[in-house]
Amino acid sequence: MTVEGTPAARVDGGLDEPTELEPEQGTLDLASPEDRHTLADWEAATAAVLRKSRRMKDDDPDSLVWKKLTRTTLDGIDVTPLGTASLLDDLSTSGRPTRSGDWDIRAHLRAHDGQDAKALNETALVDLNGGVTSLWLQVAADADLASLLHDVLLDLAPVVLDATDDQLALARVFLDVLGDTTPAPGTNLGGSGDSLVEVAQLAHERGVLGVVVDATAVHDRGASDAQELGWSVAAGADALRRLTGAGLSVDEAAGLIEFRYAATDDQFATIAKLRAARRLWARVVELSEGTTTTQRQHVVTSRPMMSTYDPYVNMLRTTVAAFAAGVGGADAVTVLPFDSPLGAPEVLGRRIARNTSALLISESHVAKVADPAGGSYAVEKLTDDLAVAGWAELGRIEEDGPAALEERIAEAAGKREVLVAKRRMPITGLTEFPHLAETRPERRADGAFDGVRRYGASFEALRDDPAMTPVFLSTLGTIAAHTARATFAANLLAAGGIAVEVAGATSGVDDLLAAYADQPVVCLAGSDTTYAEWGQEAITALRGAGARHVVLAGVSTGSASEAYGADDGFVLGVDALDFLTRTREKLA
C-alpha cells in the first residue's frame, strides 16, 4: 500500500483569526447587542486573568494570550484556546462517525493464575446480567470455553477472542462451542499476526468478524495519537494485502476487520482521534478500490493513564474517556475497572465499569445524537490535523519500518514524561493531591498491565519506596501568611513519598526552633514579605540546630541560594521528579 493521495499538510506562519466573534453568514443571530463582543474584547478579558496569575506582564500586548494558551500536542499540533470559524478554512479531510444508536458495552475477561473457567463464567454472567452486551475474552487456546461460555447466549452477546498463545486453535475451539448457533453480529475470532489469514478465512466461512487491529498495543508503549493512528492504518493495510492475496475481495477483507483504539481522559483529543481514524481507513479502502469504507471501532479506556495510587480517581478518568469514545463514534466501548492496575478487578470495579457506559447511554443520552462533536470548530480542526499527521506517520512506517517507529514512540513517551515530571500533565492522587496515608485495595496479580508504560510510573516508584525521614516544614508567620506555599510544598513532597512535619503558626526564629526535631532537610514556607523580614535569620538558626539541607518554597533554586543562602528552591513548573529525587538523596 503506497501513500499516494496523501492530504497536503498546511504550514501556517501564525494564527489567522477573525477580528470579531460573529456568526457565519446565513445563520440566525440570537445574541442581543450587549452580548456581542469582538475578538479584542475576549483577548482583553483573558489577558487580565493571565496578568493576575502572573503568566503575563502588565506591558505585554493582549494578543499574547494566543501564544500563552495554545497547547502543542506530542505530535506538534497546535490546539488554540478558542475555536473560531477560520479554523475550518482549507481542511484536508472530511467524514463523520457512522454509529447510530447505543454503543456495545463490552466487558474484558482475562484468565489468570488460580482462576478456572467456572469462575470466569460466573463473572461473565454477572456482567451480562448487569448490562454488558458483549464479551472480550483474553484466554489461552486450551481454555475450557464450553464451561466459560456456559449459559451465555451467543446469538445475542457477541464474543471477541484474544488468544494469549495459539489464535487459530482458540478460534476452532470457539466455533465448536458455537455449533449451529447463529452468532451475534460483532462476534470476532480475533485473528492477527502469523495466523491472521487462516483465522480470517474461518471467520469468513462462518459469517463473523475475523481480524482485530489492536492499536492499544502501541498506545500502551507510549505512542502519541498520530502514531497510534498511523500504526493502526498500516496494520489494517497489511491485513488487506494478506487477505486479498488469499483470494478475498477488498470489501470482503475490510468487512472482517475491527480496530481497537485507546481512549484517554484528554477528551477532545480522543474524540478527534476516533473521527480521524475513520477518515484514514476510508482513504485506504478507497485507494484499494474498495467500497466498504466504514471502520468498526472497539475503544478501550487507556491503561497508561491509570494509577495504582488513589485508584478511585481512575473512575473519573475512565468516565471522561468513555464519554469521549461515545462522542467519537465508537461501536463498542470497554471501560476498564478502576482497580485493574492493581490486579484482577473485583465485583465493585466491574460493576462501576459497566455502569459507566450504561449511565452515559441511558441517562446522559450521549448516544442519541450522531456525531455530537461534528461542526465544532476546535474538534473539526483537531480531527483534520490528526488525520494529516496520522497519514504522514503511515508514510514513515511504510518507508522506515517498525524499528524506526519504536524509536519515535520512545521519543514521544519521553516528551510525555517530561510533562508529567513538571506536572504540566497532572495526575490527580499521584503528582497532585497525593495522600500518603492511603490504604490501597489489594488485588491478585493478573498480568493485564505487564508492559504498560504508565504515565505516572516514575512517581509511583517513589511512592513504592517512601522516604523514612520527614522534611521539617518551617512555616513562617501566621497561618494566613504561610498556608498557600505550605500546602504547595506539602503536596509536592508527598508526590515523592516524603512526609512533612509542620511547625505551625510562628512569630519568629524561637518558635521555629521549638518545633524543630533534628530533621536533616527543612523547607521554609512563607510569604515574600516574611522571607524578606526574617527568612535568612531562620535559615541560619536552623542550620545551627542541625539542618543540613534547606529548601525554599516559592523561590527558584538560583534565587533561593543567592538571596537567602538556601540550598534549593522550587516554584510552579519545576521539574518535580528531579527536585524530589534530589531531596530524597539529602534525606537519606
CATH of the domain at 142: 3.20.20.240
Q: Are residues 51 and 111 in the same domain?
A: no
421 lies in a domain? no
472's enclosing H/E stretch is strand 471-475
Q: Which three cell numbers stand for residue 190?
A: 480475533
Amino acid at 352: I
Say whether both 352 and 479 belong to one domain: no
Based on the fold, state whether residues 287 and 372 are members of the same structural domain: yes
Is residue 419, in this structure, part of any structural domain at all?
no
Residues of the chain with pLDDT under 70: 1-29, 113-115
| End residue of a domain, out of 349, 370, 394 | 394
Dist CA 10 CA 313 (whole Å): 39
* Residue 545: inside a domain: yes
Cα–Cα distance for residue pair 38/585, rounded to 1 Å = 54
Residues 56 and 110 in one domain: no
C-alpha cell at 236: 489494517
User: For residue 379, is it within any domain?
Assistant: yes
Question: In this structure, are 369 and 309 located in the same domain?
Answer: yes
214 shares its domain with 293: yes
Q: 3-state class of 191 per DSSP?
A: strand
Q: Whole-angstrom Cα distance, residue 411 to residue 121?
A: 42
User: Are the C-beta atoms of residues 82 and 63 closer than 8 Å to each other?
Assistant: no
Residue-wise pLDDT tens digits, 161-178: 999 999 999 999 999 999
Contact 385, 275 (CB under 8 A): no
Looking at the fold, whether 286 and 148 belong to one and the same domain comes out as yes
551 neighbors 560 (Cβ within 8 angstroms)? yes
Within-domain flag for 561? yes
**Are 319 and 285 contacting, i.e. CB atoms less than 8 angstroms apart?**
no
Measured distance between the N- and C-terminal CA atoms of the chain, rounded to whole angstroms:
57
Angstrom distances, CA of residue 161 to CA of 134, 189, 346: 11, 5, 22
pLDDT at 14: 34
Residue type, 348: L
Please tell me the distance from the alpha carbon of residue 414 to that of residue 558, in angstroms, as a whole number.
26
| C-beta of residue 229 within 8 angstroms of C-beta of residue 275 | no
Q: Any idea what the CATH number is for the domain that residue 560 is in?
A: 3.40.50.280
Q: What radius of gyration do the chain's Cα atoms show?
A: 28
Both 46 and 151 in one domain: the answer is no
Q: Where would I find the H helices in 207-333?
A: 216-220, 225-245, 250-254, 267-287, 314-327
In a domain, 11, yes or no: no
Q: Looking at 394, 412, 427, which one is the last position of a domain?
A: 394
pLDDT in tens, 7-33: 333 323 333 444 445 555 555 667 787
Q: Into how many domains does the chain fold?
A: 3
Q: Which domain holds residue 211?
A: 104-394
Q: Tell me, yes or no, whether 472 and 544 share the same domain.
A: yes
Which one, of 380, 296, 277, lies nearest residue 103 by Cα? Answer: 296
pLDDT at residue 299, rounded to an integer: 98
Q: Is residue 216 part of a domain?
A: yes
- The verdict on 275 and 343 lying in the same domain is yes
Together in a domain, 377 and 496: no
Record the cell numbers describing residue 8, joined without a space.
497536503
Q: Which amino acid is at 464?
A: D
Cell numbers for 442, please give them: 489489594
Question: Reduced to 3 states, what is the DSSP secondary structure of residue 359?
Answer: helix
In DSSP terms, which residues pair with 306 in a beta bridge? none
Last residue in a domain, options 374, 394, 414: 394
* Per-residue pLDDT, 5: 41
Pair 303, 365 in one domain? yes
Whether 84 maps to a domain, the answer reads: no
Q: Are 206 and 183 in contact (CB under 8 A)?
A: yes
139 DSSP 8-state letter: E
